[in-house]
């Protein structure tokens, strides 16, 4: 008995089946990414932040809206250096990112704005050095190594081949609480100066997820450290002047 096999039809059905299988794989992977995205972002920020600062970094709420292109992280904490008194060096109330939705399918995702607000900072000066001086040096060392593509504990780049550029970054609404083992024996609080950077990240090919986190941490820590140094210097200068100047009646 001879069967007439329509090979064109067989090939067509095989290709359709293969296509459906590939679509299913992509959909399942996409659904998994959608469901787990918040947890993945928290894990990545915690991991890179902890490596960079050599302290424990915690991230509270993570809220990602795919259709709006918005990310919110609330209650981010950077643990203090162990030799200092406070448990937490800085608590960041809100970190929000707004992405250009049209860029999500491009080689480089464009972040329209990064806004960091409600910072509660514990600046300590003990034994001739500040806690943020130590954190700043650690972050600089880690991120410089990353930028030069030197081995970083065999770190695997999160979120694969995603690359980013960022149009602007704003740091605002923060307060710095000072403490010291010197003449500044009582806590003093000053406002953190506002910082706005235009064209925050503008690089050919963008930066990786780890690179993006490094850029943000570096800017925040540098700004806090410099502002803290300036504020502490001004406070101690006023104390010394009060010691030598006669009281005014």
Residue 118: band (very low, low, confident or very high) from pLDDT cuts 50, 70, 90: very high
Q: What is the largest CA-CA distance in the chain?
A: 121
**Is the pLDDT higher at 235 or at 42?**
42
Enumerate the H helices of the chain as residue ranges. 7-53, 131-147, 209-244
Which pLDDT tens digit goes with each residue over 135-166? 999 999 999 988 776 445 555 666 666 889 99
pLDDT of residue 4: 60
Would the pTM count as exceeding 0.85? Answer: no
Cα distance between residue 192 and residue 215, in whole Å: 20
Tell me: pLDDT of 38 over 90: no
Tell me: pLDDT of 62 over 70: yes
- 159: exposed, middle or buried (C-beta count within 10 Å: 0-12, 13-18, 19+)? middle
Return the domain boundaries, the chain.
40-244
pLDDT of residue 76: 96
Residue 238: band (very low, low, confident or very high) from pLDDT cuts 50, 70, 90: low
Tell me: pLDDT of 31 over 70: no
Tell me: pLDDT of 22 over 80: no
In 3D, which of 201, 226, 202 has the Cα closest to residue 214? 201
Distances (CA, A) of 17 to 21, 24, 28: 6, 11, 16
């Amino acid at each position: 008995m001879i069967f007439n096999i329509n090979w064109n039809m067989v090939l067509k059905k095989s290709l359709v089946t293969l296509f459906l299988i590939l679509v299913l794989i992509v959909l399942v992977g996409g659904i998994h990414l959608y469901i787990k995205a918040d947890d993945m972002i928290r894990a990545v920020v915690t991991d890179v932040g902890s490596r960079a600062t050599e302290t424990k970094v915690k991230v509270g709420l993570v809220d990602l809206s795919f259709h709006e292109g918005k990310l919110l992280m609330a209650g981010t904490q950077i643990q203090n250096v162990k030799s200092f008194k406070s448990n937490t060096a800085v608590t960041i109330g809100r970190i929000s990112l707004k992405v250009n939705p049209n860029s999500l399918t491009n080689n480089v995702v464009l972040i329209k704005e990064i806004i960091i607000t409600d910072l509660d900072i514990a600046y300590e000066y003990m034994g001739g050095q500040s806690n943020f001086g130590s954190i700043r040096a650690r972050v600089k060392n880690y991120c410089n190594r990353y930028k030069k593509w030197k081995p970083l504990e065999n770190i695997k780049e999160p979120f694969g081949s995603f690359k980013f550029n960022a149009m602007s970054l704003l740091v605002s609404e923060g307060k710095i609480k000072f403490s010291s083992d010197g003449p500044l024996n009582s806590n003093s609080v000053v406002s953190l100066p506002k910082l706005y950077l235009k064209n925050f990240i503008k690089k050919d090919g963008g930066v990786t997820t780890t690179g993006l986190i490094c850029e943000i941490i570096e800017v925040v820590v540098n700004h806090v450290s410099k502002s803290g140094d300036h504020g502490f210097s001004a406070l101690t200068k006023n104390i010394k002047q009060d010691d030598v100047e006669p009281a005014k009646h």
